[in-house]
Structure 1
Amino acid sequence: MDWPRAIKGFKTYLKLERSLAANSIEAYSRDLEKLYQYAETLTGKPSPTKFTLTDLRNFINWVNELGMIPSTQSRILSGIKAFYKYLLMEDLIAADPSELLETPKIQRKLPDTLSIHDIDKMIAAIDLSKPEGARNKAILEVMYGCGLRVSEVTELRLSNIHPEIEFIKVTGKGSKERLIPIGGEALKALKIWTEQVRVHIDIKKGEEDLVFLNRRGSRLSRVYIFLLVKQLAELTGLRKTISPHTFRHSFATHLVEGGADLRAVQEMLGHESITTTEIYTHLDREYLKSTIIDFHPRN
């Protein structure tokens, strides 16, 4: 089997068998294209079924020499392992050459966290005299109030907002749905946007159920929300590296610092593993100290 056919079959498998989101499938494909490019540089240009453990180790070294950071290498490696599991499952190979491939050690770098005061300042900096002001305020309130990913914000549906029970339903990574409580400020901002501003927009066909739209009645792009957050950070003089994900991180951090159970935070963030949630819940030393003092039986 040649590389293009193998990659095409793998993409179909990810879509139909594993029900991965389009973004995830695209990421896997790009990483396999790198392996394909590397194979083309080798003597004999081995097909995917002819690759050995040594070939794969040499490929990882090649990626490292290109200057890719450990987290990127780790993601590429994850895609390779999934690819060879697929080939094994399809009986295209007798043994998985990636089984003993080592994952590079990743230093966990925690993103900046916004204080509640920082978030209030950014929301206050939104010009509510403009039609998009109500929408932008609702976006920030929902991102912080529910800990959503930027893609979950752009895909949020009117039919999935349930103000009567104060919950929203979102579709996260791997097309997995989850219910998240939504607080008063976020609900209030959503109501103003949907009932006072959005109703006056001429909405394009097929976009009627999307919550956040641009002035032309089309869905908002992820890039727009990145630019919005960056602009508001500059307006308020914040010197941190801020992105939409900073609001998600702040959501989790503030919950845990307030005493929320880590499992509950994991559920709201949509993490499969509790260890992923722990990355989002770095706690300052004073909070850890006070937790031990307050709850340890010897104190």
Structure 2
Amino acid sequence: MTDSSIVKHVSYLKRRNSQESTITHRRGQLVRLSQFLGKPLLDATEEDLERWQCSLRVCASSVQTYSSHVSAFYAWAHDTGLLDRDVARDLVMPRIKRRLPRPIPEKDLEVALITSQYDAQLYGWFLLAGYCGLRASEISKVARGDFREADNGGAFLTVHGKGGKERIVRVPPDVFDELQMFMVRQGCIFRRPSDGKAFTPNGVTRAASAHLKGVGLPYTIHTLRHRFATKLADLGADPRDIQEAMGHEDLATTSIYMGGNVRRGAKSVDKLGAGLRTMNKRRPKRSLAQSEEHCQ
């Protein structure tokens, strides 16, 4: 039987208009915690939660995610008066190493695009990920009404991002031309052939990964999103503009793409030293022997 406090918490999340995915993951994690404890969640102690966390056999990133769901539940229980104290307040949150971007190389992106043209939807996903920076979850939600055509070609797309946050991204004219066949549809433009319903985020991820693996490419659709950010950095785009286009909460996340951009940094250093040759022309040349004689 489901713990009554989980039912109350889920009801609270729905009233807050939380994302359906957040509600599903929160409920699932709390049910698993209840099963582990073998008693109502509101009867748990700090030691119980520490024991649960130590029992997890997943990567640090997953431990952090699971712990965040549990912490959010107990903070809510304390705020609403169901608990006298927040027993999860001191729950340890693992430090996660910053991940470096892994953009798909241009030659492999070309292979992905050429080999996916037989499937218009798959081809469209790769274009939106690689040239507009959309996540798989965002691609699954793209609707005809989200596009606003621009007078000079292309369009601006309202992207439904993480946590219900929206952003506007530019769709280049060449990309928008390739998506024209979907503009006759109302609602979500990408639909499953089997039943005509919109693709789920997992459906987009699985289908894209299967195709890439099938043509011998060790990448996911998310690496095309990484390509979008690093190419913008290559072109000298303002970090704030890249942050906005990627839908990053924190500029520090965007800076990962800038920090890994060695080529752009090299060009800046070259410009810094470009005046040295002109400067040297203004002074007489010296041989190594003359220089050593001068030092003595």
TM-score, normalised to structure 2, is: 0.80
Aligned-residue offset at 1:50: 2.9
**Is it true that 1:184 corresponds to 2:173 in the alignment?**
yes
State the alpha-carbon separation in 2 of the partners of residues 119 and 163 from structure 1. 26
Larger Rg: 2
Deviations 1:74-123 (Å, cap 9, x if unpaired)? 00111111111111121111221221222112233445311223212211
**Quick one: distance in 1 between partners of 2:206 and 2:249?**
29
Q: What amino acid does structure 1 have at the position aligned with 2:110?
A: D
Contact 1:138 1:193 in 2 (8 A): no
Aligned match of 1:48 in 31, 41, 47? 41
Say if 1:235 and 1:102 are closer, same or farther in 2 by CA, change over 3 A: closer
Say which of 145, 153, 157 aligns to 1:159: 145
Question: What is the CA-CA distance between 1:271 and the residue it aligns to?
Answer: 2.2
Cα distance between partner residues in 2 of 1:80 and 1:228? 32
Contact 2:60 2:94 in 1 (8 A): yes
SS in 2 for 1:113: coil
Q: Does 1:38 align with 2:46?
A: no
Pairwise CA RMSD: 2.7
Are the structure 2 counterparts of residues 291 and 32 from structure 1 closer, same or farther at C-alpha, using a change threshold of 3 Å? farther
User: Is structure 2 residue 114 aligned with structure 1 residue 116?
Assistant: no
Q: Which runs of 5+ in 1 are unaligned?
A: 199-207
Contact 2:212 2:220 in 1 (8 A): no
Does the aligned pair in 2 maintain the 1:20–1:173 contact within 8 Å?
no
1:23 to 21, 24, 28: 21
Equivalences for 1:250-269 in 2 at 5 Å? 250-269=227-246
Conserved 8 A contact 2:192-2:199: yes
2:290 paired residue number: none
**Residues 172-223 of structure 1 deviation map (CA, whole Å, 9 limit, x = unaligned):** 122222211111222011114435xx6xxxxxxxxx3111124453323444
Separation of aligned partners in 2, 1:258 and 1:69: 35
Partner of 2:291: none
Matching residue within 88, 92, 95 for 1:105: 95
SS in 2 for 1:168: strand
Return the alpha-carbon distance in structure 2 between the equivalents of residues 26 and 222 of structure 1.
14
Counterpart for residue 125 of structure 2: 139
- In the alignment, structure 1 residue 169 sits paired with structure 2 residue 128: no
Deviates more, 1:101-110 or 1:23-32: 101-110
Shift of 1:224: 4.3
Write the letter of the residue equivalent to 2:51.
Answer: N
- TM-score where L is the length of structure 1: 0.80
Match of 1:277 in 2: 254
TM-fit CA distance, 1:27:
1.2
> In the alignment, what sits opposite 1:204?
none
- Indicate how the Cα distance of structure 1 residues 85 and 279 shifts in structure 2: closer, same or farther if over 3 A, else same: farther
The 1:276/1:5 distance shift into structure 2, 3 A limit, reads farther
What residue in structure 1 maps to residue 13 of structure 2?
14
2:74–2:86 CA contact under 8 A, matched in 1: yes
Unaligned runs of 5+ in 2: 277-296
Give aligned-pair identity as a percent: 25
CA pair 273-14 structure 1, distance change in 2 beyond 3 A = farther
